[in-house]
Amino acid sequence: MENLRPQPPHVIFLPFPAQGHVKPLLKLAELLSHASFHVTFINSEYIHHRLLPSIDIDAFHSRFPNFRFLSIPDGLPPHQPRALEDLLPSIGSATVAALRQLLVSDNLSRATTCIIADGIMPSSAVTAGEEFGIPVLAFRTFSACCTWTNFHLSKLIEEGEVPFQDKDMDKLVTCIPGLENILRRRDLPSICRVENVGDPILEFFIKEGRAMLRASALILNTFDELEAPMLSKLASFFSKIYTIGPLHALSNVRINGDRSPLASTTGILWKEDQGCITWLDSRPSESVVFVSFGSIVKFTHDQMLEFWHGLVNSGKPFLWVIRPDSIMGGDGSSGQLLMDLQERTKGKGLIVSWAPQEQVLAHRAVGGFLTHGGWNSIMESTQAGVPMICWPAISDQQVNSRFVSEVWRVGLDMKDTCERSIVEKMVRDLMEAKRVEIMKVMGVVAKQAEESVKEGGSSYRNLDTLIQDISSMTT
């Protein structure tokens, strides 16, 4: 007799190939798999070959039986480093070609309920989705405030704001509704710091922003209580917005709450140094500054030294993540500098190449976070109640750091400067002089974050709605 039981929904995930993108999309994929969806998670080959060895695949599949990983080319030769300026121009056409092929040859198109595509490059998924009649939801891994700002890139050009006409970086930018009194030129996404409007990366973001408007819904790793004004602005572009952040905490509540084995996806592309947790165990509460600049930012030797001296001069112990690829310069000099810093840090702090960041931020010994202001880091720090100093380098980080200091008031903004005296002062301010004031606000915001992911909280409910809405696409 024919089996008439309805098939569970099948969702294809298409993340942009970088740690800060793969991680949140994987968390959501796990959550949907946990809700009995079938999931096909498509990484670039480059990411796939780094990610899979870090996962205990048998344990993963016993936890998520209907979850499979596939890989497709990203358009670059295998051994070329994945610099953003090389990747962005190549990835769109490579992805759409590979996705079309998969949808046809793997017979995936008939079985697919929807595609959840990374909002940084939704055009490939939207193009393929429109061809095959598959709905596409865009998961933007940025904040709502930066997502809203990015939707105004063309307007910034039309109004003559970008490229900047003079060097006054403190001039307020007044043509983005809702942000008239908040963003200065220096707070715009770094892609606005261009010489001319034909800049390929700026064009990439404008084109992909337009494609995002063709998606049937927007998913954001944020929570309503934090970004309500920006979310209501975005609602004029999207009929459906699912805010499901802080996603790492929602995932911990919903997947681990049933006492199932932990999902094995925290340290995605680098091996975590668990020794730093033991080091933290022996420190007093809220005494340590955690320093981590995410997965992409790179530093000159001078910048490394300014940070190091500033941290040491502040007198606060620090735990600093320095990725092996994060110091610029070949000829072995970066390795030498790293070894020197490690040696000179003994007794003052600890340098590791990659940390279990969520665990570190949740550790009682950590009192402050010197961060680049990547959105995952801000969500993780906010949920852990750890105040921040933001030193934004690229992309959305300029907008995020402005909101951290001026709108949410849960930290300080150290934008566009890298001097030891300023690093020292900011660390002292965060850990001493301004601590009471900042912690008062942080306490409220952290509580809101915690409530949002609890059963009945805004993000918890929004995930349920997302699950129901995707399920209803199959009927």
In terms of CB distance, is 238 or 369 closer to ligand UDX? 369
The number of CA neighbours under 13 Å toward the Cβ of 95 is: 26
* Binding test (CB under 6 A) with ligand UDX, winner from 10, 23, 152, 233: 23
> Which candidate in 10, 21, 48, 372 is catalytic?
21
From the list 395, 435, 400, the residue with the least C-alpha distance to 414 is 400
Interacting span for ligand UDX (CB under 6 A) from 19-27, 55-63, 111-119, 309-317: 19-27
Residue 219 Cβ vs ligand UDX, minimum distance, rounded to whole Å: 13
15 is an interface residue for ligand UDX by CB under 6 A: no
294 is an interface residue for ligand UDX by CB under 6 A: yes
396 is an interface residue for ligand UDX by CB under 6 A: yes
In terms of CB distance, is 150 or 395 closer to ligand UDX? 395
| Encoded tokens for 227 | 């970004």
Q: Where does residue 266 fall: left (phi above 0), alpha (psi -120 to 50 degrees), or beta otherwise?
A: alpha
Residue 437 Cβ vs ligand UDX, minimum distance, rounded to whole Å: 25
In terms of CB distance, is 40 or 383 closer to ligand UDX? 383
Q: What does the alpha-carbon distance between residue 423 and residue 417 come to, in Å, rounded to a whole number?
A: 9
377 is an interface residue for ligand UDX by CB under 6 A: yes
341 is an interface residue for ligand UDX by CB under 6 A: no
In terms of CB distance, is 9 or 119 closer to ligand UDX? 119
Residue 7 Cβ vs ligand UDX, minimum distance, rounded to whole Å: 33
In terms of CB distance, is 367 or 374 closer to ligand UDX? 374
376 is an interface residue for ligand UDX by CB under 6 A: yes
Interacting span for ligand UDX (CB under 6 A) from 20-28, 43-51, 324-332, 432-440: 20-28
Instruction: Looking at residues 146 to 175 of the shown chain, list those that interact with ligand UDX (rule: CB under 6 A).
Output: none
For the chain, the three-class secondary structure string (H helix, E strand, C coil) is CCCCCCCCCEEEEECCCCHHHHHHHHHHHHHHHHCCCEEEEEEEHHHHHHHHHHCCHHHHHHHCCCEEEEEECCCCCCCCCCCHHHHHHHHHHHHHHHHHHHHHHCCHHHHCCEEEEECCCCHHHHHHHHHHCCCEEEEECCCHHHHHHHCCHHHHHHCCCCCCCCCCCCCECCCCCCCCCCCEHHHCCHHHCCCCCCCHHHHHHHHHHHHHCCCCEEEECCCHHHHHHHHHHHCCCCCCEEECCCHHHHHHHHHHCCCCCCCCCCCCCCCCCCHHHHHHHCCCCCCEEEEECCCCCCECHHHHHHHHHHHHHHCCCEEEECCCCCECCCCCHHHHHHHHHHHHHCCCEEEECCCCHHHHHHCCCEEEEEECCCHHHHHHHHHHCCCEEECCCCCCHHHHHHHHHHHCCCEEECCCCCCHHHHHHHHHHHHHHCHHHHHHHHHHHHHHHHHHHCCCCHHHHHHHHHHHHHHHHCC
Q: What does the alpha-carbon distance between residue 342 and residue 348 come to, in Å, rounded to a whole number?
A: 10
301 is an active site residue: no
290 is an interface residue for ligand UDX by CB under 6 A: no
* Binding test (CB under 6 A) with ligand UDX, winner from 46, 60, 139, 142: 142
* Binding test (CB under 6 A) with ligand UDX, winner from 9, 135, 189, 267: 267
For residues 390 and 412, the answer to whether their CB atoms sit within 8 Å is yes
168 is an active site residue: no
Interacting span for ligand UDX (CB under 6 A) from 199-207, 288-296, 405-413, 439-447: 288-296
> Which candidate in 74, 118, 273, 413 is catalytic?
118
402 is an interface residue for ligand UDX by CB under 6 A: no
Residue 379 Cβ vs ligand UDX, minimum distance, rounded to whole Å: 8
354 is an interface residue for ligand UDX by CB under 6 A: yes
Q: Considering CB under 6 A, how many residues would be counted as binding ligand UDX?
A: 25
187 is an interface residue for ligand UDX by CB under 6 A: no
9 is an interface residue for ligand UDX by CB under 6 A: no
**C-alpha of 12 from chain center:** 20
- In angstroms, the Cα distances linking 471 to 25, 28, 242 are 19, 15, 15
Interacting span for ligand UDX (CB under 6 A) from 42-50, 65-73, 287-295, 453-461: 287-295
* Binding test (CB under 6 A) with ligand UDX, winner from 317, 374, 411, 457: 374
Residue 4 Cβ vs ligand UDX, minimum distance, rounded to whole Å: 43
In terms of CB distance, is 208 or 424 closer to ligand UDX? 208
* Binding test (CB under 6 A) with ligand UDX, winner from 47, 355, 366, 470: 355
* Binding test (CB under 6 A) with ligand UDX, winner from 113, 295, 381, 458: 295
227 is an interface residue for ligand UDX by CB under 6 A: no
Q: Where does residue 402 fall: left (phi above 0), alpha (psi -120 to 50 degrees), or beta otherwise?
A: alpha
358 is an interface residue for ligand UDX by CB under 6 A: yes
Residues taking part in catalysis? 21, 118
Rule CB under 6 A: which residues touch ligand UDX? 18-21, 23, 141-142, 267, 292, 294-296, 321, 354-355, 357-358, 374-377, 380, 395-397
